[in-house]
Chains A and B, each alone.
Chain A
């Protein structure tokens, strides 16, 4: 058995080593420059000699060179009409045709036209790049037989050949890493590592039966599961995987931004990277992680055996990886969506947006479906499957937060879905929803998107609120202060979040009255959040705090989320928003609330519920080390961004300049006047500091991964209630059995839990609202009958 293990691991290791040699090609693999002239049915032959004249050894910046393309040899005959064709591709600079015998596919690639088929030499102009690049020309020439009369047709019997020429830049530069190669290599390596770890865990569970007969049912069991606990684990795995991928993209973005005028990423590549970073982090990392926690804990907390619709729940999960694959198709071809995660019209429906945008939209449509199904599932479960004795005001705050988040989510996401379908149809079959030339209104997209987009960001933070409430209460060894106001605060956030979305559109030219109204409602929505912060502080004040890792994360959350909320309060003021819009101040704000809020809340939840989910305790020392390194480096990344934003550093720009930069003109001379929009010289240093902190932050989170792996394999066994919590999940074993509560016999559920002593929360009388609502509900059958 051990040797089999060894063989499998050696194979995977070799795979990991071999993988970096796979390159992702910027223009995809269908171009002529990679596959040759096979489209003509021709054969490659050395008798055809390609010629490319007019190239220098070393180019001068932005100089125009006239190139002559030709060939000798092959079956071409001057007496034929069709003699030859060519395809010329260059990695940098622009090629323009000189006459009608040549056509341009894009600035980097030209080939012959139909009219240009009857000659063997062609002329083009090449404009050298204005900076230092290692330029490569790839020329394919086709010597045409011209036997149109033959049964195989006019392009049979052709022969082609290929020529590659390097042209050096004036300043010698080293080979630069192609960011797509880096990204796709890291993605594939991460995925292989994930598979290795999962296989390892399978092996550890049962070393004696490590063979295919046992492995296949184990994998099939995970692929077909509808158990909320397993689906929750799948969500956590997917969420953490994509958190890592999004982090890799962030690192690549930060490498580009570490110095002014950097060219690691071109503008086009940078646009794709920040689009994918945002999309991955919100839709493929934050939402799945929240769903993972919700799937695991909501049925346990309300004393239900599972969710209301288990198969639908599994479908919600599986739509996520499939949607992710659609969104990421663009990455592997270098033509990913470059619209920003907000996908503004009219760019998103224009020709210049990359083809991967359509796939981005399609993937998002699947994610919309997934979220809608999730919303239906959780709303129904929480409404109908609570344990006996558990009224609405007896539910734990995490369950409340999931209820409110899902209400917001599934009422707002259809608007996004409709907008996406409109964009998809605009791009695919040519409808005119956002086509300004036909009367379409791009602002409609902004409304539909932000009507969803604003509730969405509350959807990702409210569950973190719920986790923090649970953790602070348990750590302070008392119940949360002001349970009822906590519930009303979350409900208030849920309702008001639908009427503030205009604050994302302050600079769109909307009516000043609407801007004013939105300003007020946005300031209003901060009030319930503030109430919650004060309640948490009062919980700690009235309790006795135990400092476990999850406690530290909750305290860190209080600091960073409060800072993020306060920085957010600069935006409702229309006047200030006009200056801060699209600057790094926005970036700092939302990373403080998204990372410092949602991600820290989820880390907190992982440390808190890990013993319950796996039956093992996490290592406390590694946990504290993780918290300290991550918290410090995280603040190192995002705190200086406030200052950069105030200085005017623009968001979504691939580079920036500082005022003492030497800027070169077209002939290489130094232009000394300041570049408009240049930042103070300190900005460069701060950007470098941010990049270094970001790399450290990225690696600090591996401490969590290591902790998880070590603990799953050889952690201490966990009791049912390691922290002294009071909600139902702590009354089950670690990990809980399946079904989570009760047993199903003779068509009925037996032994479901009953909530008897609920005096920690509120008295047992239903509220006025519940009384009125229950009068609307008419049960079909008498109570007690089935």
Chain B
């Protein structure tokens, strides 16, 4: 049962696929990807099941992800040869003559909106329902109630990440650059689509291949910059040296985690929370605020990562000259998703980073 090539009688379930016969009617990808996700979630839970991370389970978590990747590669193998000879078009009103896959992408985005709505609801519920830590600090009761570093007892309050991030330009720099990067990447993906869909004759085919690949690669790069800066902001922090002729002072920008803003910290104290009279420092339990921040922005980051995975495939396909005016519309499907990710960020950024 060699499934390595597709012929008329035995369409290959492993890919590649001849699309003039229509969509693939057999594929190992769904089964393999499902099993991979199962292994991943199972191993992730058992890696963290005690209070200490059980490092021996991490390899199996990776195995789960590798199985998912393996299934995805089979899916891509079947898709790589898609040249637009079979792009299903809608027949039913009011979608007549719109590509079915475009309608599908819009429907998918509807459900994704509900995901972010639920995350935002959680954030708003907690942000408005729990007192802001700065308000509690300024009120000053905590001193005599004994919520200080010395007593070790932490009071519950909501500490938005913006308290840390919006405190200075350098703190907000990664987030601002990220916003800029995502907006520019929305532009580059449109440019990729534009050049891919230019009619034959209007553009030299070699130039089309080069430009489409470049714009897709730029989108990919900007997305990777986004995630890299996010990781720097969350975990690594950065150091700004003194550059006197530009008027830049030395800054050591600590990461959020280094500041103590984590989801299961025993305690958290902000460097400004010092009582003038007694010198005591307020100790706070900010796990709710940290949880909503990291999970919401993290979910967005996961969606960016998904986009990077898709962009990897698309850049590869473009480099092989796989995008022609006939199938250029598949870039648009991704573009819709990417604009959605950008839009979510444009809403997340002010709500979580600035306000």
Contacts and interface: CB of A to CB of B under 8 A. Distances in A.
A311 B115 contact: no
A431 interface: yes
A448 B49 CA distance: 25
Interface string A340-361: 0000000000000001001100
A323 B41 CA distance: 10
A667 B25 CA distance: 71
B95 A383 contact: yes
Interface in B34-50: 34-35, 37-38, 41-42, 44-45, 48-49
A216 B287 CA distance: 53
A756 to B, nearest CB: 15
Interface string B256-269: 00000001100000
A779 B100 CA distance: 12
B261 to A, nearest CB: 13
B93 to A, nearest CB: 6
A771 to B, nearest CB: 9
Interface string B1-45: 100000000000100000011111111111101110110011011
B97 A432 contact: no
B30 A314 contact: yes
Contacts of A731: none
Contacts of A326: 38, 41-42
Contact of A439 (B13, B78, B130): B130
B114 A386 contact: no
A777 B95 contact: yes
Contacts of B323: none
A708 B95 CA distance: 41
A125 interface: no
Interface string B97-139: 1111101100110111011011101100110011000000000
Interface string A391-428: 11000000000000000001111110111011011011
B271 interface: no
B310 to A, nearest CB: 15
B253 interface: no
B295 A226 contact: no
B59 interface: no
Contact of B263 (A221, A309, A432): A432
Contact of A438 (B27, B91, B288): B288
B71 to A, nearest CB: 9
A315 B95 CA distance: 26
Contacts of B287: 430-432, 435, 438-439
A390 to B, nearest CB: 7
B100 A415 contact: no
Contacts of B75: 311
Contacts of A73: none
Contacts, number: 240
Contacts of A309: 101, 104
A424 B41 CA distance: 10
A746 B85 CA distance: 8
A414 B118 contact: yes
B96 interface: yes
The main secondary structure of chain A at its interface with chain B is helix
B30 A317 contact: yes
A318 B104 contact: no
A322 B34 contact: yes
Contact of B86 (A317, A410, A747): A747
A410 B111 contact: yes
A776 B85 CA distance: 28
B201 interface: no
A414 B77 CA distance: 30
B99 to A, nearest CB: 8
Given A224-B26, A308-B104, A414-B118, A431 B295 contact: yes
Contact of B37 (A322, A384, A422): A322
B95 A387 contact: no
A306 B30 CA distance: 17
Contact of A322 (B22, B38, B88): B38
A329 interface: yes
A31 interface: no
Nearest to B44: A428
A225 interface: yes
Given A385-B91, A422-B122, 5 more contacts: A315-B33, A318-B31, A366-B38, A428-B44, A431-B291
